[in-house]
Structures are given as structure tokens and as C-alpha cells.
Structure 1
Amino acid sequence: MTITDLLHWASVGHLTSGRPTAARETGQDGLRTDPDHPGLNEVVGLAEHDLEEYARAIHYLETAARHGLLGVTGELTLADCYLRFGLVRAAAAVYDRLANPGQCPTPHLPALAKGLGRVGRYAAAQNVCDRLARLRPDYHPAWYGAAVYRLMLGRPLADVLPALERAHRLAPHALPYRLTLAAALTDVGRAADAYPLVRNLSAEDVACGGLCRRLLAVFAHAGDAAQLDAYQARADRLAPQSPSRAAGHGNRLADPRRLPRPAGHGNRPAHE
């Protein structure tokens, strides 16, 4: 093992321990000896990304790709950098390749699904979420993602509800799941089933005026005047910044792109 290889592994150790500045400095020491070393270029590129130096990250990651294969972490990070500069085609090419069977290990599937969604590949993103749900059936973000991308594709709510219900069962306290499920149940005429999901939920916890208006039917059906008034007032206050009031994506549910993602969804796994 050469000194360059030792510096590479030391740089990887810094990066995986949450020390991107040290990772960059150690990697750059190695690159002074071997500027074409693919591993060093990759780890320095990943460190630059963590330090929000996205143009420099692209330089190092593309250099690594020219001199050897990037790891999946490197490819996903490069695609993220492309999107930060509006290079949608370049990012989509990376995501499309990784979406092919056998190209993306399971730990990276959440980030891949998120990336595909960012470039408008909703059908591919849904397929990745479906695959992840089969591989990790207790991983609730996979079920929620599968539901959200079905919404983005304009699928009937009857096709969306099973995944939403599964996500909510796995993580009953996740607010995005409760809200999306309550709205979907309301839109298919199941206001009575939606009411327990939002009965004790403060209107101030809902950031979308259109969603507040949709849930009015739930409280009206239940005869809950206090919640009805609170959600009506909240919807009125949010009206100026609520473009989701308009119909979208082939169904009446609020645009899912405005809903927060569950914690941890799409985070980058550790460097390979």
C-alpha cells in the first residue's frame, strides 16, 4: 500500500467521522502526489459537497469518474451538485442509470427515489419506493414515498390509500402521513375515518391553506365546531400563500410537494 493509498483511507475516515475539512485537507495532500487518484478525488469531492463547495465538488467528482468508477455515493452526490446549478439533464442521466436493476444498493434507494423525483421521473421514483418497500417492509418512508409519487402521477386515490395507510400504521405520529391520509380519506368520502387522525391536531400545525380547507369537511361531518372554526380561520390566514388550493395532478388532494418529508428520507449513506 502506497502513501497515497494511506492518505486516501485516512481521508475516508475523517469524512465518515463527520470531519469534512480534515478529509479535504488530507485528500489534497495525497492529490499533490497523485492528482489522478480516483479514490482521493472522490473523497475530496464528497468533502467539498459537505462543505457546500458545490462547484469544487463537481470538479473532483468528475475527475474521479474520468480515472475510475465512482461509487454510488459519489454518483448521487455529483447528481445533487448538478441540480444545484440547474443541470437537470446531467443529473437525470445519473439517476436514470442508477434506477436500472442491480445498479443501486438498498441503502441508497431513498436518495435515488428523492433524486428521481427532483428531476420529474415520478414513475421511476415510485418504482424505486415500491422496490424499497418490498425489501424493507417496515421502512415507513418507502411506503409514504410510494404514495406521494402515485399522487404526482395523478393516480386514483384508491391506488394511493394502501401505501398511505401502511406508512401511517408504521409511524402513527408522523404528521405528514396523518395529514396526507386524512385528506385522501376525505376526498374519497371517508370523513368519519379521517376524523380520528386530526381530531386533536391543532390547526397551527398545518402549513397549507388548501389542506386546511379540505379538512373542513371532516370536522363538519363530526360536528366538531371548535376545530371547524380553527381550521377555517387558519385557512383564511394562509390563503395568500396557498397555491395548492388549485386542483392538481389529477386528484383533489393538496399538492404533495408542499408536504414535509419524513425525517431521514433521502439522507446520504456513509461513504462506501
Structure 2
Amino acid sequence: MATQIEIVQQLSTMTSRGALQAARELAAESLVKFPDDGRLWEIAGLLDHAKGDPDSCERRLETAQTLTPLRPAASCGLADAYRHFGRNALAKDLYAHVVTLDQSSIRLWQYCALRLDEIGAVAQAVDAARRVAAAQPENAQSIFEFGYYLSRFGTASQLVAAVMKQAISLAPDQVSYRLGLADLLLSTGDRSAAFAWIQGLSARQIEQLTCPCCLERLARLFESGNDWVRAHACRVWIDRHSVNERPTARFSSSFLIQEYLLETDGLRQATSAAALRA
């Protein structure tokens, strides 16, 4: 009979290969044999999460919580289940807790920022984004997202603009950052400053955007500066390439189970290294 460690390794292999249903079945069988193994309950719950079964996910992760402290990815999975059922206060507490944990990955902090914003916990989303930006001060996306959440929180536009300009300085060719800053400046009534950040964009740069809403916003900004040629180019790009596009989810359905298995692999390697040093 396979040991618990061997089962976890099998589940990790199955998940990495995308065999989520087979992994769920093995996890369910393993829980019968090892009902007191909190790790297996966590994995089973996160596999339920990946397959879109919030009810089973909630039950299994709450069971895991009675057997072992939840690891960060499992806490996020339980928070997602609570969010699905409208228990947003509990979800907020779990997401915010994960942000405080040093063992959480930067990716999980980003995940928590997004989810906290979705449930209206914008102050906590700012905290998560601030932690990401502090950990990656040269990463333009992390800096820009910090500015975005600051804006959502109602922070003074001058401070938000300063953060967004920092992101643009790190990635000057990233059109979406320029669009975000231009939108912000336009909202303050500074039309000329808003137009200045997008007026030099080439057709190649405009084609970086595939989101119809973003392209429409950019077209309107060009119209505000009487740049009808570029406004037309935006709408042509929408018609030719973006009509049937659907937004791509930032995090895949299997993100949390993959993060969990990375966490457990990292802990196993650290334990092995410590044993070798001893």
C-alpha cells in the first residue's frame, strides 16, 4: 500500500499533467485510508476548487483546518469558497491573513489583492499590492498594480500618478500603463496632460491591446485630443481582432493546487537540506 508521501507525489504528478479528475479520485480514496492526514484533506479540497466544486472544497478544507494549520494556498481556497457563498467577512480575513505570511509566494499576494478588491475590501487589497511592489521594486506590473489599487481606494491622484509614472519608467513601451495614467489624469480634468501620455503611440503599440474596452477607452482619449487617425486605428483593431475575444483569466482554475504543491515541495526540499546539514 502506498504511503502518504507517495500518494502526495502521485497527486503532484497527476496535477502537473492536468489529470485533475483522476487526482480527485485518488485523493478521495486516500482520505478513506488516511482520514487524519490534514495534507490530503487540503489537496482534496484544492482539487475540488480546481474542478469548480465550492461546496466540497469548503467542507474538505474546513476538515483540514481541524487537523493542521492551513497552508497559504489552502487558506486562499477556503476563502474562495466562502466568497462563493457570500461569506465575505470570513473570506476577507483569510485573504488578509495570507498577505501577512512570509511563506506566501508573491503570486499568492497578487491573487489575494485581486480577490480582496472583488469583495470590496480595497484597503486590504492595497496592503497586498504594497507588499508585492516592495518585494519587486523593479517589476513594472507590480508597481502599476499598486497604483491601480491606490486609485481604487481613493488615494490622492497626484500620489497615484507618481506610482504609475514609476511603472512607465520601468516599461515605457507598455501601452496599458500609459492608458491607465491618461485615464487618471483625464478624470482630474487635465486633458492636455492625459493626451500627452498617449499621443505618440504607434500602430504597433496600439495593437498590444486586445481588450475591446481598453481600445475603446484609448480611442476616446485620442478623440479628446482631436487625433482622429489613431482613434480610427483603435476601432479598426477592435473590429478586426477583438470582437470575439473573451478576457483571459489572470489565474487559472488550477492555480491554487499548483501553488500548494509548490509550497509542499519547497518545504520538503528545505527539510531535506536541513537534515543533510545536521
TM-score (norm 2): 0.73
* Cα offset, 1:36, TM superposition: 2.9
What residue number does 1:82 align with? 82
Match of 2:198, SS state, is helix
C-alpha separation between the residues in 2 aligned to 1:197 and 1:80? Answer: 42
Whichever residue aligns with residue 229 of structure 2, its letter is: A
Whichever residue aligns with residue 64 of structure 1, its letter is: A
C-alpha separation between the residues in 2 aligned to 1:214 and 1:108? Answer: 34
Is structure 2 residue 92 aligned with structure 1 residue 92?
Answer: yes
1:229-240 equivalent positions in 2, closer than 5 A: none
C-alpha separation between the residues in 1 aligned to 2:11 and 2:211? Answer: 43
Select between 161-170 and 144-153 the one with higher mean Cα deviation: 161-170
The answer (yes or no) to whether the contact 2:223–2:231 under 8 Å persists in 1 is: yes
The CA deviation string for residues 54-82 of structure 1, in whole angstroms up to 9 with x for no partner, is 21111111111111111101111111122
Structure 1 spans left out of the alignment, 5+ residues: 235-259
Whichever residue aligns with residue 270 of structure 1, its letter is: E
Is structure 2 residue 220 aligned with structure 1 residue 216?
Answer: no
Match of 1:36, SS state, is coil
The answer (yes or no) to whether the contact 2:57–2:81 under 8 Å persists in 1 is: yes
The answer (yes or no) to whether the contact 2:161–2:184 under 8 Å persists in 1 is: yes
RMSD of Structure 2 on Structure 1 (CA): 3.4
C-alpha separation between the residues in 1 aligned to 2:228 and 2:138? Answer: 37
Percent identity, aligned pairs only?
A: 24
Is structure 2 residue 121 aligned with structure 1 residue 118?
Answer: no
* Cα offset, 1:163, TM superposition: 2.1
The CA deviation string for residues 181-230 of structure 1, in whole angstroms up to 9 with x for no partner, is 2223444341452233546437996516666545532x23xxx3434577
Select between 204-213 and 12-21 the one with higher mean Cα deviation: 204-213
1:1-272 equivalent positions in 2, closer than 5 A: 3-100=3-100, 102=102, 104-172=104-172, 174-186=174-186, 187=188, 188=190, 189-191=192-194, 193-196=196-199, 198=201, 200=203, 201=206, 206-207=212-213, 212-217=219-224, 219-220=225-226, 224-227=227-230, 268=256, 270-271=259-260, 272=263
Structure 2 spans left out of the alignment, 5+ residues: 237-246, 264-278
Select between 160-169 and 147-156 the one with higher mean Cα deviation: 160-169
Call closer, same or farther: CA 1:262–1:40 in 2, change over 3 Å: closer
Call closer, same or farther: CA 1:225–1:210 in 2, change over 3 Å: closer
Match of 1:29, SS state, is helix
* Cα offset, 1:172, TM superposition: 4.5
C-alpha separation between the residues in 1 aligned to 2:156 and 2:70? Answer: 39
What residue number does 2:241 align with? none
Call closer, same or farther: CA 1:262–1:2 in 2, change over 3 Å: closer
C-alpha separation between the residues in 2 aligned to 1:170 and 1:157? Answer: 20
Match of 1:270, SS state, is helix
